[in-house]
Structure 1
Amino acid sequence: MNVLDPVKSIMTTKLITVSTGDKLTAVKEIFDNNRIHHVPVVRYKELVGIISKTDFMHFLRGFNRNQEDRFVNEARMRAYNVEDIMTKGIAKLSPDDRINVALEVFLENRFHAVPVVSENGELEGILTTFDIIKAIAATKVTPEEILESKKQH
């Protein structure tokens, strides 16, 4: 991975999204059935917010200890919409922004995901810290580079 490459080279493009009027039961189903931690909120194709798994768990106030807690949480999820708990003022990247710019955003703000939007505000992807880790792990290192690294240390 080259940090000067554009974020579009490593971002996730197959996204699961929700709309502002969706019930939180839909968000719970997404988190329960997919290995993701951030769900972009869109109005048509325009990004309007994001819900993190942490925000969602905070809304639920932790774990379900008994059947009564589960019943109350189910009722709350049916009563509230995505719009009620989504984060609205979010950082965004352009598909052509460099990966090093994304790294700075992650470091400064301690985010774990940043939506990637086109000039007209349409959601094109999301870049997560996991995407960066995958790209680094996939980077091929030659035996010569390993030897050179050992000589320097």
Structure 2
Amino acid sequence: MQAKDIMTTSVISVPQDGTVEDAVRLMLDHHISALPVLDDQGRLKGLLSEGDLMRRVRDTESPRRSWWLEIFGGTSNTARDFVKLKSNRVEDVMTRDVVSVEEDTTVARIARLLEKHRIKRVPVLRSGQVVGIVSRANLLHALSALRDRVLPEPSEDDRLLRVKVEKALKDVPGATVNLINYTVEDGTVSVWGVADSDFQENAIRVAVENLSGVRKVDVNMGRLPAWAYGI
């Protein structure tokens, strides 16, 4: 099983020249915790996560010495830290050394990368362009669908069916596709994620059931709390 078999394909990103306020609004609107940062050619330049933003909050609230005391004290990263804490530009705040993978990277290798680098997600690239995200949640969902302890290698039919599922979910009214994960194995489609209501969950099930090649559909959708919608 490879990255392309489990990745979330509806990727919400932010431009390199965007503002922190724009990025925060995207995170809130789409209920996500990180954004790939892209240049004007669509190439991956960095990643802006809730961790990057929370560091700004923590460092702002914690006592700090005067900048000139830090310079005389030998702190070499003072100027860089100042920019990351005070700038409103995404490119100044983002993490630049991003661990990424290709579509054909195995799930086992992705799991090792997440563990090695202590990260929660990796962008998936195709010819330098971001085409998906694999998170810890994607890995857990794939594992939970296993009938045994061996990750199966999807057939070409399953991979083609996965593309159909992706398109079908995008047509479900109001569905937040970036919050939906799915796997396909021998024509069985397992869907996890978040739905606004029982009606939307049923709409997701029907959309997948109507696809040719689908033998069975397992839908397990959660609900976001009211505060997540600003209610």
Query: TM-score, normalising length from structure 2?
Result: 0.50
The AA in structure 1 aligned to 2:24 is K
| Equivalent-residue separation in structure 2 for 1:114 and 1:98 (angstroms) | 13
Look up the equivalent residue of 1:113 and give its one-letter code: R
1:78, distance to aligned residue in structure 2 (A) = 10
Question: Equivalences for 1:21-100 in 2 at 5 Å?
Answer: 21-43=17-39, 44-61=41-58, 80-100=88-108
> Normalization by structure 1: what TM-score?
0.73
In 2, distance between residues paired with 1:63 and 1:16? 28
Aligned to 1:58, what secondary structure does the other structure show?
helix
Matched, 1:19 2:15: yes
Shift of 1:61: 3.0
Residue 121 (str. 1) matches residue 128 (str. 2):
yes
Structure 1: state its 5+ residue gaps: 65-76, 142-153
Once residues 145 and 3 of structure 2 are traced to their aligned partners in structure 1, the CA distance between those partners, rounded to angstroms, is 16
Task: Pick the structure with greater CA Rg.
Answer: 2
- Establish whether residue 8 from structure 1 lines up as the match of residue 15 from structure 2: no
The DSSP-based 3-state class of the residue aligned with 2:109 is helix
Q: In the aligned structure 2, how far is the partner of 1:22 from the partner of 1:78?
A: 15
Richer in strand (by share) = 2
Residue 62 to residue 130, structure 1, CA distance change in 2 (3 Å): farther
Structure 2 letter corresponding to 1:123: V
Moved over 4 A (4+): none
Cα distance, 1:115 vs. partner? Answer: 0.8
Look up the match of 2:143.
Answer: 136
Residue pair 1:48, 1:88 contacting (<8 A) in 2 also: yes
CA distance in 2, matches of 1:86, 1:13: 22
How far does residue 79 in structure 1 lie from its aligned partner after superposition? 5.6
* Number of residue equivalences: 124
Q: CA deviation at 1:124?
A: 1.1
1-structure distance, mates of 2:32, 2:125? 19
Alpha-carbon deviation of 1:132? 0.8
Q: Secondary structure at the match of 1:102?
A: helix
Which deviates the most, 86-95 or 27-36? 27-36
How many percent identity over aligned positions? 25
- Please say if 1:110 is aligned against 2:118: yes
Question: Is residue 47–residue 121 contact of structure 1 (8 Å, CA) maintained in 2?
Answer: yes
1:27-85 Cα distance to aligned partner (Å, 9 max, x none): 11122222211100011321110011111121233899xxxxxxxxxxxx996111011
Q: Give yes or no for contact 2:14–2:36 (8 Å, CA) kept in 1.
A: yes
